Structure 1
Amino acid sequence: MLPTELLMFKVKAGLVEPRRLKPTPSHLTLVTALVNVFESHLNDKRFQLEEDFRALEVGRSDYRVVRGLAHLLANDNAEFETGGTLEPSFVREKVFELAQGAPHSRARTKHVLEEASRTLSLDSPEETLDLLYADLNDQQRLVSFEPPDPVSLLQRFDLAQAQGMLYRAFSLTITAHRNEPARYKQLLKYTKLFGLMVTVEGDADIGFTLTMDGPTSLFSGTTRYGLALAKFLPALLHVTKWDLSAAVKPRKDLSWTDPNDEEWSFQLTSEDGYVSHYKEPKDHDSALESGFAERFEKLETLWTLEREVDLVPVPGGVIIPDFRLLHEDGRSVLVEIVGYWRPEYLKKKFDLLRKSGRTDVIVAVSERLNLEKAGVKTTDFGERVLFFKGVLNPKTVLELAETVGRPGG
């Protein structure tokens, strides 16, 4: 992401809009120039690159674009390392020890460096001096660089600007409409990964509303939660149809913003054309699920198998079934495959299924799992629990679906 000082945006009637870069010849030429700086400075120190970056800024009013693109290249495409064979902190300790108590002079400095070189078995006083602060950011050396596609870098810049709008967000509301293929499971995994508090309402027909609330007061610290929301945004881009609305704490440190603004709003939709740099989610989470789907495709049946199309809100959490079966006559059945063995996981999974109150969920459980040891009782689910050994037979699931499917989807 980008540091706050490199964010560019405008505010109109309380609506904040981030800066975006079009792939114009001017912007593409700038990307090429920045890439050339990195490629020409392999094994050089970071401050040497930054000197060339500053030269590129001369005469440009959009210097923050230059710095922003350079920042992304340095973080995403380059690798910097502390040079030398010894830890700089160890070298500093020895040099300061030798210099202690002696009056400072050029001759004394030369003597200390020479003595430190011999003591540390280094080749020269120059190497000792080079190591002295080699761990500082501007002294680190560029050891590798992978140039990106220029258009991809501009897209990454746009996304980083959008992420920056969420740094000061204290609540976020997402309407995720029905998706094909669905990406809900990855979405919920990322909310957990980044410690976001989520409330889910709705259904597959009207869309799901995910509300993520941070600190309750505009005057409390929001930065940490806002950073989590910013990291979450690229995951949302893998959901194919959604709307986002964020409440943002205004920037009072900028002279051009309205000091009377109490809240800004940041709006995005899946139609805005942002591109995620997170990896695409896998079609299936396990071999059990992929194998079941492959075997199902070979059947001739009036049932259709859909992948993760429903979120099921329940008190204390959300269920994301692995599959949904749809019959031509409108009946539907959710299928949850339980093949993971950890007792805590099993207990939570069945607790959520029980709280959901749904009677149209088939729970397929591997016989390898020790439900008794996990403290799980399946009596509440009656005939909707299906135990399988080895692989899950879709014919068996369809037989059960005929009895538990509910009309109307």
Structure 2
Amino acid sequence: MLPTDLLIHRFNGEEIVPKQLALSSENLAIATGLIEIFQSAKGETRGSLNRQLQELEGEETDYRVKRGLAHLLSGDAFSTFETISPLDPGTLRQRVFAIAAQTPASLKATQTTLQQMSTILTQELAREVLPDQIRAGLYADLSENQILTAFEPPTPEALLHRYNLSQVQGVFYRASHVTINAHRNDPGEYKLLFRYLKLFGLMTYIEGDADYGFTLTIDGPTSLFKPNTHYGLKLAMLLPALLHVTRWNLTATLQQKDAYSGKARIGRFAIASDCGLVTHYPAGKTYDSMLEAGFVERWAKTKTEWRLEREVDLIPIPGSVMIPDFRLVHPDGRTFLLEIVGYWRPDYLKKKFSQVRQANRDDIILAISERLNLEKAGVDFSHTPARLVWFKDQISPKAVLDVLNN
């Protein structure tokens, strides 16, 4: 995504309109030029790369567009920057400066110090360490001295798509409320969207069902008691997931600062499934945590007739939708739903147990972390209709099977 200073929006009345780049020959040429600079800069420092990018910007008026595209290319999705040094740079500085302090400063003394350190580290590390490597490693931990060690180039078209998406995502940094109408779609699309909602921890009120569609009302970062930038980023990260849904529309209320007066102003934003934005999120299944992924791996090694399924039916409940993590299916037709409760926030725990009670089903298994202080959170699970499995660091398939077979 883009930082605030690289977002380019304009107002049309109260409506905010993010900058969008057409896939024109001119814009594709700009994207191609930037990609080529990154490709040629592999093995060079970030500082050297930035100087090349500044030269490309020149004094042209579209410098913010180029800078935004370059920012995306320098992110983890495409670039890998590493600190290259024989030792941790902080430790290396201490040791080099300790040797240097023994003689008066001079060019010759510097060369001698580097050679001494080179000899010492060559012996300690059992590999050749050259004086130039010592010199380069002294401040290798500074951002400008990090080395571009890998670059996975996108196509120019993909880069422009990512830029357009990032400009729209920036709208949500200052959202107070967001409403999404997800019309009747394939149930799998709903499930993926709801899993991302859960993954990002967004405060959402959900109405509707899979037959007619859902309305999602999401609190934005500026609706919180204290505006939360991190939450705003999480909300922005939902948009690529929403693009996997076939039919939807979204409206948002924004709290923006007027660029001229500096005063707060209300903005509006609307977008729909025909917007032309392209997602980079995979359409496959997502695991909400390493805990779930680990459980799947262990279950695959377990000898049992029970089959573990990821695709689970939505369970509508007032004001929300419960999406169990797994379904367990036996050849004789028995089925159970498994929900993992590993999140620690008291309000989340209360909500989760309330959902289970409201679902009013006797085929739910809750796997609960023993590290949770349910009593302190005000959770009374004594009247929960679900079967319970307790775990510490990982969920045991055997413990789940014991509950299933009792």
Q: Which TM-score applies when normalising by structure 1? A: 0.71
The Cα of 1:216 is off from its aligned counterpart by 6.3
- Partners of 1:179 and 1:309 within 8 A in 2: no
- Partners of 2:175 and 2:222 within 8 A in 1: no
Corresponding residue of 2:251: 245
Could you say which structure has the larger radius of gyration?
A: 1
- Partners of 1:91 and 1:132 within 8 A in 2: yes
- Partners of 1:180 and 1:309 within 8 A in 2: no
Does the C-alpha gap of structure 1 residues 112 and 291 become closer, same or farther in structure 2, counting only changes over 3 Å? closer
- Partners of 2:172 and 2:232 within 8 A in 1: yes
Does the C-alpha gap of structure 1 residues 202 and 342 become closer, same or farther in structure 2, counting only changes over 3 Å? closer
Corresponding residue of 2:138: 132
Corresponding residue of 1:57: 57
- Partners of 2:86 and 2:134 within 8 A in 1: no
Distance 1:378 1:47 in 2: 57
The Cα of 1:159 is off from its aligned counterpart by 0.7
**What number of residue pairs does the alignment pair up?**
346
The Cα of 1:344 is off from its aligned counterpart by 7.8
Corresponding residue of 1:88: 89
RMSD (Å) for aligned C-alpha atoms: 4.2
Corresponding residue of 1:271: 274
- Partners of 2:174 and 2:222 within 8 A in 1: no
**Paired residue for 2:318, among 314, 318, 321?**
314
Task: Note the residue ranges of structure 1 that are not aligned, 5 or more in a row.
Answer: 294-306, 323-334, 367-372, 380-388, 390-409
Corresponding residue of 2:397: none
Is 1:340 the equivalent of 2:335? no
Distance 1:183 1:290 in 2: 23
- Partners of 1:169 and 1:222 within 8 A in 2: no
AA in 1 matched with 2:86: T
AA in 2 matched with 1:137: S
Which digits, 9 at most, give the CA deviation of each residue in 1:31-57, with x for residues without a partner? 111121122122111222222211211
AA in 2 matched with 1:113: L
The Cα of 1:281 is off from its aligned counterpart by 3.3
Does the C-alpha gap of structure 1 residues 147 and 336 become closer, same or farther in structure 2, counting only changes over 3 Å? farther
State the identity as a percent: 40
- Partners of 2:78 and 2:151 within 8 A in 1: yes
- Partners of 1:314 and 1:356 within 8 A in 2: no
Task: Note the residue ranges of structure 2 that are not aligned, 5 or more in a row.
Answer: 123-127, 326-332, 344-349, 366-380, 388-400, 402-406
Distance 1:320 1:218 in 2: 25
The Cα of 1:282 is off from its aligned counterpart by 3.9
- Partners of 1:17 and 1:266 within 8 A in 2: yes
Residue 199 of structure 1: SS of its match in structure 2?
Answer: strand
**Paired residue for 2:177, among 151, 171, 180?**
171
Residue 44 of structure 1: SS of its match in structure 2?
Answer: coil
Distance 2:32 2:95 in 1: 44
AA in 2 matched with 1:191: L
The Cα of 1:342 is off from its aligned counterpart by 5.7
